[in-house]
Structure 1
């Protein structure tokens, strides 16, 4: 009996997609493979971000693509997810740039900003004339954002605000033209601070964005701090549409949704590379893909990717219908980043010593995914969020 024709995947969602979603996915794949992949390893090794691609991201419609109006593409959740998948298929840091610009910087202005703020910033951000970042995490406030120390105080009735504090691990901050900063805010006449969002602009006195050096992960992503030293921010720069932690947490939900798709992309890349390598690498007289243990690893990676892709599509359709809730997004981020991390580890072993070499791209994904595993909600915090939903009992405050 002749051997069957090998197939890289036994599960596809192509038949579940609309025609425009297929076209968007295909164009995103082609762009990432032809424009990003050839340069990414050099940037990773150098610890630099490929700034020359920012304008091309905008031309492709990637920036703000999930938002409607103001020069944004207005794509549905599945098309947006497919773009995030293809970006992370080449590098988590590249997906991080587009994800932060869209879900963490543009989204809060789009969802909670005044019409003047939207008109001023969103068109520029969609065309990459303005780069944004998101300031929530602090040196002593990560998983517990309610404990933030950054604060704002209003200068008299109807006056401007003075911001003080420090934010850390801020993607894009060293090149950002604006930062959406969340701070405990004391408005004039009130004795109780409430968390509010502010658009802090490059050039405001006392505002600086030092770059973070020494990273061994996400090296092709630019990371820094936000330092606020008596920064006077006009009252018109405060986002009027939201109060409390709902603001920043809703932005994180948008970003985590994209990460859930991105994890599948990273997993696909390492699986496909391991599959090709083991079918070509000959030991003991035959390709190592012909050995049982190698096939077990390929099957386990393949099956986890299939489940992750189906989960992402299912939740994408729920989001499209307005029925996706934050704990489901926690599940998507938790499961798909974990599967990507596991696939990268497995793929590394299958390439042996070659697995640590940059030219094979596996180790770069593995190092990147160690960060994705803990940022925008650690794996453990998402576990407890899901546990709370299942039991009604909170294991943390």
Structure 2
């Protein structure tokens, strides 16, 4: 399946406000590549998150809560479905959408993950695989934040090998009224938003043709249970769940009509994998900003530690990694708008950028010393959250194998 979600300049812009100031971490001024309307939107999103989220982010993380009361504000800012012509506030580019993920992540990666699941995975599944009727029913209410979506692919025994190993089954049968319906059985794990979503996109293997298909499971549903996963030490604000599907009935009208196998699902994953790369940049930026502020304020041997050569080296290495990561993300996003992006392009961005993110947050944690393990000093939360971002949407190893297959022509998956 080929999909072009948006053309960057098709349609009118909204009134343009003041552009956001350039981030100090944007060393090569990539934000200037955005249009005036995009920069004005970034300014609004940044101001909202600085005002409404940053003051509470550490406490929310410690309590493993998400600021669900802010969902109407997210929707008003146009953060849901911004790639989709049916619901977006204004014409925008993939670089802009990536920059939004960066801006959210530099303040609260858990919020960015919520948006990515709802807008990127759930809404894009409907946009890619839904019928005109399904798009009309779901996309606008989801864009307004009135209905929340989740995405159920990963299983307790299958993560990296989901394409081949998916065990959740879908069996088609005739209902009592003569209509077609499906019976879903199986289990899912690590499903974000699932404890409070209004619709969960469940991916299951058709017992008749062995092909993966997508289903819109409306909540509540008989036979469907979602149990919050506790004791997490990363992205604690994300409400991940274990799901059990025990004879869940889904009408044929709620099967995603344009999905005819895992290859179609891969289109959705490619779009969101790029977004996770941008999220990783935001995590690195958040840690870097906190470490830089600390280095300027922390006094040792009678002077700020920012004046010491080894501290400046850590900061310089970090800004270099962030700059290289932004450059890669900008280009892979441009390729999406140009309809040139392939799975291996987004896979390389996700692998490289998350690896650099991990190095940056570790360096910044080290720079802050013993205080770096305490939430109050800004780095610890990003240090912990980086581990989840490094892993989801394809592990580093799996994404490098996707790239390896592209450059050698040989699949090393076993």
Unaligned 5+ segments in structure 2 are 1-23
Secondary structure of residue in 1 paired with 2:214: strand
Give yes or no for contact 2:291–2:378 (8 Å, CA) kept in 1.
no
Secondary structure of residue in 1 paired with 2:212: strand
In the superposition, relative to structure 1, how do residues 16 and 370 fare at CA in structure 2: closer, same or farther (>3 Å)?
A: same
Give yes or no for contact 1:21–1:78 (8 Å, CA) kept in 2.
no
Once the two structures are superposed, what CA deviation does each residue of 1:272-326 show, in whole Å capped at 9, x if it has no partner?
Answer: 2212211222212322122221111111001111111111111221111111111
Correspondence for 1:148 among 160, 166, 185:
166
Partners of 1:268 and 1:35 in 2: CA distance: 19
Give yes or no for contact 2:78–2:88 (8 Å, CA) kept in 1.
no
Give yes or no for contact 2:211–2:260 (8 Å, CA) kept in 1.
yes
Does residue 63 of structure 1 match 2:80? yes
Partners of 1:72 and 1:172 in 2: CA distance: 24
In the superposition, relative to structure 1, how do residues 8 and 144 fare at CA in structure 2: closer, same or farther (>3 Å)?
A: closer
1:21 offset after TM fit, Å? Answer: 2.1
Secondary structure of residue in 2 paired with 1:180: strand
Give yes or no for contact 1:67–1:73 (8 Å, CA) kept in 2.
no
Correspondence for 1:45 among 45, 62, 78:
62
Matches within 5 A, 1:303-322: 303-322=320-339
Matches within 5 A, 1:183-222: 183-186=204-207, 191-222=208-239
Secondary structure of residue in 2 paired with 1:68: coil
1:333 offset after TM fit, Å? Answer: 1.1
Give yes or no for contact 2:25–2:322 (8 Å, CA) kept in 1.
no
Matches within 5 A, 1:175-190: 175-186=196-207
Partners of 1:158 and 1:392 in 2: CA distance: 45
In the superposition, relative to structure 1, how do residues 71 and 79 fare at CA in structure 2: closer, same or farther (>3 Å)?
A: closer
Unaligned 5+ segments in structure 1 are 1-6
Secondary structure of residue in 1 paired with 2:248: strand
Over aligned residue pairs, what C-alpha RMSD do you find?
1.6
* Structure 1 equivalent of residue 258 of structure 2: 241
Partners of 1:361 and 1:219 in 2: CA distance: 15
Correspondence for 1:170 among 191, 197, 208:
191
Once structures 1 and 2 are overlaid, which stretch shifts more, 326-335 or 150-159?
Answer: 150-159
In the superposition, relative to structure 1, how do residues 29 and 70 fare at CA in structure 2: closer, same or farther (>3 Å)?
A: closer
Correspondence for 2:285 among 268, 280, 284:
268
TM-score (norm 1): 0.94
Once the two structures are superposed, what CA deviation does each residue of 1:204-225 show, in whole Å capped at 9, x if it has no partner?
Answer: 2111211111111111111112
Correspondence for 1:283 among 300, 306, 323:
300
Q: How many residue pairs are counted as aligned between the two chains?
A: 387
Once the two structures are superposed, what CA deviation does each residue of 1:21-74 show, in whole Å capped at 9, x if it has no partner?
Answer: 221222222121111111111111111111111111111110111111146655
Partners of 1:216 and 1:254 in 2: CA distance: 27
In the superposition, relative to structure 1, how do residues 290 and 70 fare at CA in structure 2: closer, same or farther (>3 Å)?
A: closer
1:126 offset after TM fit, Å? Answer: 0.6
* Structure 2 equivalent of residue 3 of structure 1: none
TM-score (norm 2): 0.90
Give yes or no for contact 2:150–2:199 (8 Å, CA) kept in 1.
yes
